[in-house]
Amino acid sequence: MTDGPTYGFDTLQIHAGARPDPATGARQTPIYQTTAYVFRDADHAAALFNLQEVGYIYSRLTNPTVAALQERLAALEGGVGAVCCSSGHAAQIIALFPLMGPGKNIVVSTRLYGGSITQFSQTIKRFGWSATFVDFDDLDAVKAAIDDDTRAVFCESIANPGGYITDLDAISGIAEAAGLPLIVDNTSATPYLCRPIEHGATLVVHSMTKFLTGNGTVTGGVVVDSGRFDWSASDKFPSLSAPEPAYHGLKFHETFGPLAFTFHGIAVGLRDLGMTLNPQAAHYTLMGIETLSLRMAKHVENATKVAGWLESHPHVAGVTYAGLPSSPYHDRVARICPRGAGGLFTVALKGGYEACVKFVDSLEIFSHVANLGDTRSLVIHSASTTHRQLTEEQQKAAGASLDVVRISIGIEDADDLIADLDQALNKAHG
Residue ranges of domains in the chain: 9-99+181-288, 293-428
The Cβ-side half-sphere exposure at 325, using a 13 Å CA radius, reads 1
- One-letter identity of residue 348: A
- The closest alpha carbon to 187, from 399, 61, 374, belongs to 374
Question: Which CATH code for domain 293-428?
Answer: 3.90.1150.10
Check whether 3 has a pLDDT greater than 50: no
CB distance 205 to 221 below 8 Å? yes
The pLDDT-based confidence of 362 (bands split at 50, 70, 90) is very high
Mean pLDDT of all residues in the chain? 95
CA distance 18 to 11: 11
Percent of the chain with pLDDT over 70: 99
362 phi, psi to nearest 5 deg: -95, -10
Closest CA to 303 of 141, 207, 186, 412: 412
- pLDDT band at residue 393, thresholds of 50, 70 and 90? confident
CB 299 within 8 A of CB 16: no
Residue 5, pLDDT > 70, answer: no
Mean pLDDT of 6-16: 95
Q: List, for residues 266-288, the tens digit of each pLDDT value.
A: 999 999 999 999 999 999 999 99
> What is the DSSP track for 223-275?
EEE-S---TTSSSS-HHHHS-BGGGTTB-HHHHHGGGHHHHHIIIIIIHHH--
Alpha-carbon gap, residue 224 to 181, rounded angstroms: 13
pLDDT (0 to 100) of residue 309: 98
Model pLDDT, residue 382: 80
Q: What pLDDT is attached to residue 385?
A: 74
- Place 169 in a pLDDT band, splitting at 50, 70 and 90: very high
CATH of 9-99+181-288, one of 3.40.640.10, 3.30.497.10, 1.20.140.10, 3.30.70.360: 3.40.640.10
Count helices and strands in the chain by DSSP H and E runs = 18, 12
Q: Tell me the residue type at 99.
A: L
CA distance 87 to 55: 24
Q: Which residues pair with 205 in a beta bridge?
A: 185, 223
Which tens digits make up the pLDDT trace of 105-127? 999 999 999 899 999 999 999 99
325-353 pLDDT, tens digit per residue, is 999 999 999 999 999 999 999 999 999 88
The string of pLDDT tens digits covering residues 294-314 is 999 999 999 999 999 999 999
